[in-house]
Chain A
Amino acid sequence: MRAADLLVARRSGYNFAFLDEHSKREVRRALLKAVAIPGHQVPFAPRELPIALGWGTGGLQITLSLIGPRDVLKVIDQGSDDSVNAVNLRRLITRTTGVRTTTDTRRATIIQTRHRVPEESLRADQVLVFQVPYPEPLRRVEPSDVQTRRMHAEQDYSRLWVYLYEDIVRWGDVTIPHRYPVRVHGRYVMDPSPIPRWDVPKLHRSPTLGLFGAGREKRVYAIPPHTRVEPLEFDDHPFRVEDFGGERCRRCGSGRSFLSAIYDRATGRRYYVCSDTDYCERRIAGGAAQRAAAP
């Protein structure tokens, strides 16, 4: 027996997916409302989980509330299945549900993510669950929740527009690097979670249901399938995604994916790899298969 087995006694005393059924139903009820009002933040009463708040408990409660025994789960952090917090969240979910897990974006029925939308196009039979630190897109212009709720109700987004305008005047472009505010279905302005701008266009008219959970801030919201999701932009200053200056992934050679900079341990030189590890692996495997098939 390994010491690790001594540490972790199997906890069989917990309900399927940890939360009791009433709590799960409560979350699902909030989600139904969120789907009915795209982009609108619905308050809910998060339960305390054996994971620290701020570490994905909002997304986790959505996943735990939706997951069934036949689901296939994928959890990513920064696009990677192997990131330690993704591993930890996946361990909690599988420990309390026994569901199958996968790294293959195409095989997953529920994908819980932090900071990325997979490069692979998602389908209608999949659900993408986002972990959200700041659900309020107006927070950068207004700290009070009472005020931001009123502003949303009155569709008063003028201060955010002024913020963007002043940014352009001062810096030549909007400086919001991630959490780029989007307008959902022409109505609510929404925080798409800290995904890079690169991922924002993927949300537009996506066939996949997007669910957003902010545990610490006690809000859920949703983008139903095929919903318009438009970044806030001016006609003469269109929204722009990240520019990697022609760099390509060092591993798979992709020039069409979001890249992470890595500094070589030995030489200190900077190079780039895909942030979406599954996408990268598949391209490498595909390339190898092609080479093997070639005469």
Chain B
Amino acid sequence: MGYVAAKGGTQAIEQAEQLVQYYRLRGGSEPIQIRQIQDQFRLAVDKVMGEGSLYSPFHAALALKQAEGDTIEAVLLLRAFRSTCPRTRVSVVAGTSEMHVHRRISAAFQDVPGGQILGPTVDYTQRLLNFSLCEEDGDHVRRFVAQYLADLPAGELGEPPSFPKVVDILKREGLLAASNGAGAAPEEPPYDITRAPLVFPAPRSARLQALARGETGGVLALAYSSMRGYGDIHPTVGELRVGTVPLRIPHPAGGPAVFIGRVLVTEAEVVAFFDGTSGPGAPMFTLGYGLCFGHNELKAIAMAVLDRTMNAAVPKAPAENEEFVLSHIDPIESSGFAAHWKLPHYVTFQADIDRLRSAQRHAQPRDGIRRAGG
């Protein structure tokens, strides 16, 4: 190499990189294993997979370890890794009615076909710091798991059940509009915002993809703004499901689609009060739809709310404006740009000062008058 461009900057970066490693390791505790993160930081892994839009618990856990638990940094790592993965196949449309349900609730009806299944949730627990976890060791873990499984009634651990969808009942009874009006008809190939730019107005598949990849906190904040009163669609959780959905790919030789595995997803269907946006004819409830990788209920609910708010014919609130929503929820767009202000801005700031001085010179005579008068 003839020319080596860098001088001090390279050293500074290398030192900083080593210092990060040192800060992560200086405590001297045992290094955390990827498997432990996958098992015990389940929800963080799911969040990173969803926002990173790559379904791989292993890679998400590795990213979390590398990022020292910073989910947004982990998402950046995962997204960059994703860029290097060739896309060899596209699955056929997955049906969530085939979901093996781990958890399933409806806030719309007391009882629904299949029943309410609380599943693994902390919703109805008291959020007290559990100090007994400080004492937890391998022995406790093995004893608990063995005891839990022994106590289960026979057959409980069999294949999880699949159920009809709650919203299908509403559709059958003519209370719910058949489909969310906006955007692409289902038979069109869905838009892919990782292969084509997101431009506005966006087809609904692009909207849903952007929401599904959106940062949980960002999606939640915008959905909350609508619930609180900056626009209100008056949502009811028709159904919230967590479970695994089978994925299939077309058979290369044209046979029946080939099963390739299951992905854990969270799905929310939010029923919005009627307000005349369901189209011509009798008024009907309308639906907002949310689906994301992994177990992330707030994300799915917030996504469903935003899917519905963005259908407003005339946007009146930020959460109803698709440009506003979709341009500001991506974790690595927002975090990257917010962080970039740390970069040097010497040149632009110098130009800022030049303009300020010019404006000050212009203001001086008037200022003098004011001072004389006051």
Contact = CB atoms under 8 A, between A and B. Distances in A.
B6 to A, nearest CB: 5
Interface string B4-30: 111111101110011001000000000
A251 to B, nearest CB: 15
A216 B83 contact: no
Given A48-B80, A52-B339, A101-B5, A261 B350 contact: yes
A82 to B, nearest CB: 5
B336 A77 contact: no
B26 to A, nearest CB: 13
A131 to B, nearest CB: 10
Given A82-B9, A87-B6, A7 B17 contact: yes
Q: Is the interface of B mostly helix, strand, loop or mixed?
A: helix
Given A52-B336, A243-B354, A100 B3 contact: yes
Given A86-B9, A177-B355, A49 B83 contact: yes
A198 B355 CA distance: 12
A201 interface: no
A100 B82 CA distance: 28
Q: Which of B10, B21, B335, B338 has the most CB of A within 10 A?
A: B10
Interface in B303-360: 323, 327, 332-333, 335-340, 343-348, 350-355, 358-359
A116 interface: yes
Given A19-B83, A48-B332, A83-B9, A171 B348 contact: no
A43 interface: yes
Given A43-B199, A115-B348, A146-B323, A261 B353 contact: yes
A10 to B, nearest CB: 15
Contact of A102 (B3, B7, B21): B3
A100 B347 contact: no
A144 interface: yes
A55 B79 contact: no
A232 interface: no
A90 B6 contact: yes
Q: Which of B196, B332, B354, B363 has the most CB of A within 10 A?
A: B354
Nearest to A168: B362
A23 B323 CA distance: 26
A45 B333 contact: no
Contacts of A85: 343-344
Given A54-B339, A90-B6, A177 B354 contact: yes
Contacts, number: 182
A119 interface: no
A231 interface: no
Nearest to A53: B336
Interface residues of B, number: 60
B350 A242 contact: yes
A242 B332 contact: no
A225 to B, nearest CB: 25
Interface string A180-204: 0000000000000011111000000
Given A87-B13, A133-B337, A146-B323, A50 B348 contact: no
B362 A144 contact: no
A55 B340 contact: yes
Contacts of A15: 84
Given A48-B332, A107-B3, A172-B358, A260 B337 contact: no
B113 interface: no
A221 interface: no
A218 B206 CA distance: 15
Contacts of A86: 9
A175 B6 contact: no
A19 B83 CA distance: 8
B196 A45 contact: yes
A52 B340 contact: yes
B343 to A, nearest CB: 5
Interface in B115-157: none
A74 B21 contact: no
A29 interface: no
B1 interface: yes
Contacts of A8: 17
A52 B74 CA distance: 12
A44 interface: yes
A91 B10 contact: yes
B197 interface: yes
B82 to A, nearest CB: 6
A75 interface: yes
Interface string A1-33: 001100110000111001110010000000000
Interface in A195-223: 195-198, 216, 218
B169 interface: no
B347 A260 contact: yes
A216 B347 contact: no
A71 interface: no
Contacts of B347: 78-79, 115-116, 178, 194-196, 258, 260, 275
Contact of A48 (B8, B18, B83): B83
Contact of B195 (A7, A18, A45, A242): A45
13 contacts: A45-B193, A50-B77, A52-B339, A55-B339, A82-B7, A82-B9, A91-B10, A145-B327, A172-B359, A176-B355, A177-B355, A216-B333, A218-B198
Interface of B: 1-10, 12-14, 17-18, 21, 76-77, 79-80, 82-84, 86, 193-201, 323, 327, 332-333, 335-340, 343-348, 350-355, 358-359, 361-363
Given A101-B4, A114-B343, A258-B347, 7 more contacts: A20-B84, A45-B194, A50-B77, A55-B340, A87-B6, A100-B1, A145-B327
